[in-house]
């Protein structure tokens, strides 16, 4: 009835599959074994939850299962022969047998229905489209009946599910009774207007329908219209009674489907005697017990199925659920537990750790973790933690030092306490993989388990939800009486049906021998795959460091030889014990003598350090905390090369930079004890010209050593001073300078390096008292200042006589360019640097009477503004050991600015002019100086800055403001622009005219569906640009300058005064529409005649487009101007577009738009299908016909607005319309759309391969390929069918 309306909804949680971030090392991860319930679920193929629920119900119907198993290959054939044409192989029952055998005997978390659905003849769409389970129940039974024709099971469905009703009409005149019998496999009972199953059955079988008044009955015996009464009774009761609840109805007033979510009760046991025709039998003949409830969660357009089943044969291991039935509002009883004493509910790490630690197995199924979290803190992960910590799966991965995935990735445990093998639940694999030819496949007798809390006899209920199976209580069924998640189908079995004792807890009961053998083989293969995978997944790579290859140096272990680092790589199974590892190393090192200790090591900057020694040979590497890439040190446990080794975190070595004074004798920048160029740049490292300097040496010390022991290890006398680098001191850097060091007080000599918070890379200055006699070191209190020799460095100066671009050839220019290295310091004035450079270059005579300056050069070789020669090297920000250029020109003073400027247009590279003005100079004075420099006169000039894209930008409005007040910086470029300065608050706007392709005065709004080829082939006129997404042109008509306090009406009036628009007749401003354009695209209509341009958020430089209208227009704030196109029936094209104004003030839902367009065209809203066109990629997004459904947890129904995501309807958008009464084609794309889409795909493929994008001659041209906005539209309804062969 409802086709495939029930699309699958993803439930919030943490998927147990390997895609959650657990990457298997092996080629393919085997399926996980069964869970604690010992029952197997069924995999969802995308939308087959309805099929899974029905199949589980049939599996747990023992009589159906056993009748199916009794059909042997001699009746059904063999699957191996199904491809032989003359062989009659009944594939559907054979595949159903195999599936049931796998669900009973194969040790896997879930079985696949792929083979079964293939036997149905279903394709991928059938497997991903969800259908109605009530419809499937009838179709599957019909397919089985046709498949079993001619076999002993031909009456299987009829014997178990077939019942009859009798309709009786009694004539009130003569008493004649007319009866008609009807067959049924399931009873469809009403939900609407009824509060219980008993009430619905009473209305069906007890209430009489009277034929009276104008609705009389023609009696065959009286041969005339008479008063009569009609009633229905149950004549034959089947062993299994199926009740289909009519929860989905149609509201003819609103013309929409809806789901009945009101309370509807049903009993666990029911007596049908009152509804039967014959009532003289024993009570047991009329009594039925509920054993399956198929549940639908969601609305009438989307949802999910799962099933509650009573395990009649007790094949599963029932355990009491962990407080599943506790209301969330109930106050949780805090148990006295170590894990809960300090639980912080705002800390997800603390909460998840406590949840896992409380489990008896010390692990939790991943798909149950979200529910347990909600039970723990009363809130879901998404609501409480997702915003700050992301999805729960990523949180577990990011804390892999705390959590670990076990059981092939289906469970999460704590690394500190991994699940013990004895607490893992037994599985059928432990029996089916036995070498015994007749194994006991009963999972319930595999291992001795602690006795769970007993459940009342016959009340083993489970929730089978696709791949997962959970225990539930019988009282949980009452939760499915009402709501979005409620019962949809009920399955009852006669109470007089009893099961033999040998069937209880025996999944092998009545299973054919060949299917048992098949299950054994599959279990063997699964076990082999799991062992291979576990061996691969548990293999760790260990780095063994052998003691004979190391020596103790600087507080850490160092390799004796740099060529041989003494590291041996060993791959080992982490499930084995430390004793096994020790034995393996003994076998590798045949020459090893004496004891062998294995100690966890770690490579630190100072060297290798040892931590804890593995002493217990019986513990596994996993439990010992040994993981892949772990470092182990192999030694005798006492000494290395005669030196005693201190182990543990408290003795972790620290690598310090020991700094000492150094007096060099040569003129080079010396490097001592490994001090490199990096140290030189940091202000120490060496000297030049024989000056004093500092040397650095990296030394490691044990973290537990005292500062006094460090001094002794350095060989320093007792009176030496130790200093730590002072964070607040000035460091020598780019321009040289001094660094500050803090003196350690005498009491710190007894403190350890760890207590002093010294870490790797910290510097330690060692000074003797006489060091302060040098000018390099000075002591003030406890702070030592070191004046480093970085002030004795150099600057390279290059002479460029023609920096402006003229001059001779390249040879002459190279000859004129000369370089000199000038000694300089950070405190030297730049005027002194220039003087020395002129002397070094011998330019005294050449530059006599000529002003020159020093300029820095950027990475592209462009000259930067001249530096102020009154400043020092450090103050000017000039880095030592860099280049300066000596150029003709004046250098600015400290109070002046060096500016570039050009006249009338943005300057080209190298063509701008330079000027030096005072920082206190006003804009007017600066403009006059620039005009004087180029010989211009007059007052019709003003200054503008350049914008971020190096184009002429905003004018400097305040002519009396100083340059410093306007934050004009050194080296900035200004443009001298002709024209009077616009008044303050005025905007300069570019105006375009919207042209009609036929050159009429009226401007049209046609889209590019019509005449697009003509527009793309016509020539481009000067001053005309094509509007993106339309087939009309925009012609520039000039600029207007208007105050931002002016209204939109004033703007329209001023636009109409432009000379280019004198030919356009507009009676009033209301006949003119103003568009704001963005990137050559019409973006929005400016509305509100009396709104100011400031409120409309217009800025100077905004581009506007004006359009002439045939009538007055005044759009409201939420009225949307749409281009609407009606599809031509039977063709892939559209009628010319029309403009429609849609009022979305009160309702912006799809229903409102559909109603407005239906009124515009005089059609019924139900017959219209709408779609929005995406002009960038020529696709259409179908507008959903119905309001979206929301989850059960949300309190309010979310209304879908077309003004928001994902449609974002705005002015100018194109809406396509299909009239479904006369047009069955639901595809909105035209042939041109497909051509452009193909061209865009080819361009994207070329860009992906690194090639050049091919040129496009379509209306859009080559452009970026954007992803079309996704709208969750429902799939079309398709009938459900199962293909069956002919076996008659």
Nearest to 122 by CA among 111, 113, 133: 113
543: how many CB neighbours lie within 10 A of its CB? 17
Which tokens belong to 1273? 């539209």
DSSP secondary structure code for residue 331 in this structure: P
Q: Closest by alpha carbon to 558, among 590, 614, 601? A: 601
Cα(721)–Cα(710) distance, integer angstroms: 12
CA distance 851 to 835: 12
960 class by beta-carbon count within 10 Å (0-12 exposed, 13-18 middle, 19+ buried): exposed
Going by C-alpha positions, the residue among 69, 38, 52, 27 that lies closest to residue 114 is: 52
Is residue 408 a contact partner of residue 29, using CB atoms and an 8 Å limit?
A: yes
Say which residues have a Cβ less than 8 Å from residue 531's Cβ, sequence separation at least 6.
Answer: none
Q: Beta strands of 224-274 (E only): which ranges?
A: 224-226, 228-236, 240-246, 248-251, 256-259, 269-271
Question: Burial code of 310-330, b = ≥16 C-beta within 10 A, e = fewer?
Answer: bbbbbbbbbeeeeebeeeeee
Please tell me the distance from the alpha carbon of residue 291 to that of residue 569, in angstroms, as a whole number: 59
Burial 776-814 (b: 16+ CB within 10 A, else e): bbebeeeebbbbbbbbbbbbebbbbbeeeeeeeeeeeee
Q: Which of 38, 49, 171, 1178 is catalytic?
A: 49
* Residue 870 CB coordination number (10 Å): 15
> Is 514 an active-site residue?
no
Instruction: For residue 826, list its beta bridge partners.
Output: none
Beta-carbon count within 10 A of 136 CB: 18
Q: Tell me the two tokens of residue 908.
A: 């080209």
Separation of alpha carbons 988 and 990, rounded Å: 7
Give the C-alpha separation, 351 to 375, whole Å: 11
Tell me the three state secondary structure of residue 598: strand
CA angle (743 as vertex; 738, 744 as ends), nearest 5? 150
Per the structure block, which two tokens stand in for 102?
Answer: 């796998």
Residue 1067: is it exposed, middle or buried by C-beta count within 10 angstroms (0-12/13-18/19+)?
exposed
Report which secondary-structure segment, H or E, holds 125. helix 124-128
Antiparallel, parallel or unpaired: β 485-494 and 539-546? unpaired
Closest alpha carbon to 1219 in 1147, 1134, 1138, 1121? 1134
Q: Catalytic residue among 304, 609, 726, 1178, which?
A: 304
> CB neighbours (10 Å) of residue 120?
22
Please indicate whether residue 970 is annotated as part of the active site: no
The one-character DSSP state at 254 is T
Phi, psi of 533 (to 5 degrees): -65, -45
**How far apart, in whole angstroms, are the C-alpha atoms of residue 839 and residue 311?**
104
Cβ-contact 1253, 1262 below 8 angstroms: yes
Cite the DSSP H helix spans in 177-263.
197-205
Cα–Cα–Cα angle for 751, 752, 755, rounded to 5 degrees: 85
Strands (DSSP E) along 455-579, which ranges? Answer: 461-465, 468-472, 485-494, 539-546, 550-553, 556-559, 567-573
**What is the number of helices (H) and of strands (E) in the chain?**
26, 59
What strand order describes the sheet that includes 783-787?
692-702, 653-663, 763-767, 721-725, 738-743, 783-787, 777-780
Residues noted as catalytic? 49, 304
């Amino acid at each position: 009835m409802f086709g495939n309306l029930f699309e699958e909804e993803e439930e919030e949680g943490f998927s147990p599959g390997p895609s959650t971030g657990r990457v298997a090392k092996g080629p393919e991860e085997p399926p996980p074994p069964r869970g604690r319930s010992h029952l197997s679920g069924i995999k969802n193929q995308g939308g087959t939850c309805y099929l899974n629920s029905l199949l589980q119900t049939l599996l747990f119907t023992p009589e159906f299962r056993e009748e199916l198993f009794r059909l042997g290959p001699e009746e059904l054939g063999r699957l191996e022969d199904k491809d032989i044409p003359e062989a009659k192989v009944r594939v559907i029952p054979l595949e159903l047998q195999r599936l049931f055998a796998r669900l009973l005997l194969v040790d896997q978390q879930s079985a696949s229905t792929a083979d079964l659905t293939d036997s149905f003849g279903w394709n991928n769409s059938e497997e991903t489209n969800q259908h109605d389970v009530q419809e499937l129940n009838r179709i599957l039974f019909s397919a089985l009946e046709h498949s079993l024709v001619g076999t002993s099971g031909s009456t299987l469905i009829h014997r178990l599910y077939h019942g009859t009703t009798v309709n009786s009409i009694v004539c009130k005149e003569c008493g004649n009774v007319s009866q008609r019998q009807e067959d049924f496999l399931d009873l469809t009972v009403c939900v609407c207007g009824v509060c219980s199953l008993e009430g619905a059955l009473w209305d069906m079988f007890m209430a009489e329908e009277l034929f009276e008044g104008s609705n009389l009955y023609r009696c065959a015996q009286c041969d005339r219209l008479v008063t009569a009464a009609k009633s229905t009774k149950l004549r034959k009761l089947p062993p299994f009674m199926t009740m289909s609840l009519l929860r989905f109805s149609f509201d003819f007033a609103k013309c929409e489907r809806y789901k009945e979510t009101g309370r509807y009760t049903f009993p666990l046991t029911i007596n049908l005697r009152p509804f039967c025709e014959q009532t003289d039998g024993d009570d047991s003949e009329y009594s039925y017990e509920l054993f399956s409830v198929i549940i639908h969660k969601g609305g009438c357009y989307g949802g999910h199925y799962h099933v509650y089943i009573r395990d009649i044969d007790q094949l599963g291991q029932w355990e009491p659920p962990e407080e599943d039935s506790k209301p969330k509002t109930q106050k949780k009883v805090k148990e006295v537990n170590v894990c809960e004493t300090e639980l912080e509910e705002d800390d997800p790490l603390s909460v998840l750790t406590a949840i896992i630690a409380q489990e008896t197995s010390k692990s939790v199924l991943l798909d149950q973790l979200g529910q347990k979290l909600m039970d723990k803190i009363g809130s879901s992960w998404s609501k409480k933690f997702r915003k700050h910590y992301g999805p729960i799966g990523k949180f577990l991965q990011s804390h892999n030092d705390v959590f670990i995935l076990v059981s092939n990735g289906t469970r999460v445990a704590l690394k500190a306490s991994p699940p013990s093998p004895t607490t893992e639940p037994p599985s059928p694999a432990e029996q089916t993989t036995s070498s015994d030819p007749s194994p006991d496949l009963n999972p319930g007798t595999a291992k001795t388990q602690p006795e769970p809390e007993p459940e009342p006899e016959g009340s083993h209920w489970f929730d089978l939800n696709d791949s997962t199976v959970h225990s539930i209580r019988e009282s949980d069924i009452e939760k499915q009486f009402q709501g979005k998640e409620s019962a949809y189908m009920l399955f009852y079995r006669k109470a007089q049906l009893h099961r033999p004792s040998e069937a209880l807890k025996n999944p092998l009961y009545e299973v054919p021998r060949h299917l048992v053998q098949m299950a054994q083989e599959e279990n063997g293969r699964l076990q082999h795959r799991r062992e291979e995978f576990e061996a691969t997944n548990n293999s760790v790579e260990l780095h063994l460091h052998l003691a004979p290859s190391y020596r103790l140096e600087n507080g850490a272990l160092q390799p004796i030889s740099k060529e041989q680092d003494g590291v041996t790589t060993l791959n080992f199974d982490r499930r084995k014990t430390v004793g096994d590892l020790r034995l393996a190393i003994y076998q590798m090192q045949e020459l090893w003598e004496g004891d062998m200790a294995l100690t966890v090591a770690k490579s630190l900057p100072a060297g290798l350090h040892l931590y804890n020694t593995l002493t217990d040979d019986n513990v596994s590497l996993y439990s010992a905390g040994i993981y892949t890439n772990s470092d182990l040190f192999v030694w005798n446990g006492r000494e290395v090369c005669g030196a005693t080794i201190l182990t543990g975190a408290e003795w972790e070595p620290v690598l310090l930079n020991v700094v000492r004074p150094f007096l060099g004798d040569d003129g080079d920048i010396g490097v001592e004890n490994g001090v490199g160029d990096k140290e030189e740049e940091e202000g120490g490292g060496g000297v030049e010209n024989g000056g004093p300097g500092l040397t650095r040496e990296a030394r490691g010390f044990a973290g537990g050593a005292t500062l006094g022991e460090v001094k002794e290890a350095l060989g320093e006398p007792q009176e030496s001073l130790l200093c730590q680098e002072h964070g607040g001191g000035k460091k020598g850097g780019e321009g040289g300078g001094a660094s500050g060091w803090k003196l350690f007080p005498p009491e710190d000599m007894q403190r350890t390096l760890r207590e002093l918070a010294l870490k790797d890379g910290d510097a330690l200055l060692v000074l003797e008292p006489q060091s302060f006699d040098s000018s390099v070191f000075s002591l003030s209190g406890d702070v030592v200042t070191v004046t480093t020799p970085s002030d004795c460095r150099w600057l390279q100066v290059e002479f460029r006589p023609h920096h402006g671009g003229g001059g001779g050839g390249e040879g002459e220019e190279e000859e004129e360019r000369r370089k000199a290295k000038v000694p300089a310091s950070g405190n030297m004035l730049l005027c002194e640097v220039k003087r020395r450079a002129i002397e070094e270059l011998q330019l005294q005579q050449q530059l006599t009477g000529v002003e020159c300056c020093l300029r820095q050069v950027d990475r592209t070789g462009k000259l930067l503004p001249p530096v102020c020669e009154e400043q020092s090297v450090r103050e000017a920000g000039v880095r030592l050991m860099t280049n300066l250029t000596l150029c003709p020109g004046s250098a600015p003073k400290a109070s002046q600015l060096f500016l570039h400027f050009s006249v009338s247009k943005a300057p080209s590279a190298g063509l701008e002019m330079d000027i030096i003005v005072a920082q206190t100079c006003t804009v007017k004075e600066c403009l006059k100086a620039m005009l004087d420099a180029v010989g211009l006169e007059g007052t019709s000039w003003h200054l503008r800055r350049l914008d971020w894209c190096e184009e002429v930008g905003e004018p400097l409005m305040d002519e009396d403001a100083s340059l410093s007040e306007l934050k004009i910086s050194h080296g900035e470029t200004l443009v001298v622009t002709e024209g009077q300065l616009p008044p303050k608050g005025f905007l300069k706007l570019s105006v375009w005219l919207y042209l009609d392709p036929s050159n009429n005065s009226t401007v049209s709004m046609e889209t590019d569906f019509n005449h697009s080829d003509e527009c793309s082939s016509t020539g481009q006129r000067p001053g005309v640009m094509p509007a993106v997404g339309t087939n009309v042109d925009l012609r520039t008509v000039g600029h207007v300058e208007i105050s931002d306090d002016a209204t939109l009406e004033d703007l329209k009036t001023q636009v109409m005064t432009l000379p280019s628009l004198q030919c356009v007749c507009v009676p009033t401003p209301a006949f003119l529409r103003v568009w704001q354009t963005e990137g050559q695209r019409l973006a929005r209509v400016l509305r509100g005649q009396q709104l100011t341009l400031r409120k409309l958020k217009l800025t100077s430089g905004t581009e506007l487009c004006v359009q002439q209208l045939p009538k007055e227009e005044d759009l409201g704030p939420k009225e949307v101007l749409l281009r609407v196109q009606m599809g031509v029936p039977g063709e892939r094209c559209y009628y010319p577009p029309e403009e429609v104004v849609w009022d979305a003030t009160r309702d912006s839902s799809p229903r409102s738009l559909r109603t407005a367009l239906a009124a515009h065209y005089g059609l019924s809203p139900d017959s219209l299908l709408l779609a929005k066109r995406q002009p960038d990629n020529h696709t259409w997004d179908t507008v959903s016909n119905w309001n979206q459904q929301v989850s059960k947890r949300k309190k309010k129904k979310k209304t879908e607005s077309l003004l928001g995501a994902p449609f974002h309807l705005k002015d100018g958008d194109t809406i396509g319309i299909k009239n479904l009464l006369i047009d069955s084609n639901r595809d909105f794309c035209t042939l041109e759309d497909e051509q452009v889409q193909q061209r865009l795909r080819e361009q994207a493929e070329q860009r992906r391969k690194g090639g050049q994008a091919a040129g496009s001659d379509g209306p859009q041209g080559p452009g970026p390929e954007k992803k079309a906005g996704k709208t969750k539209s429902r799939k079309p309804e398709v009938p459900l069918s199962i293909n069956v062969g002919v076996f008659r």
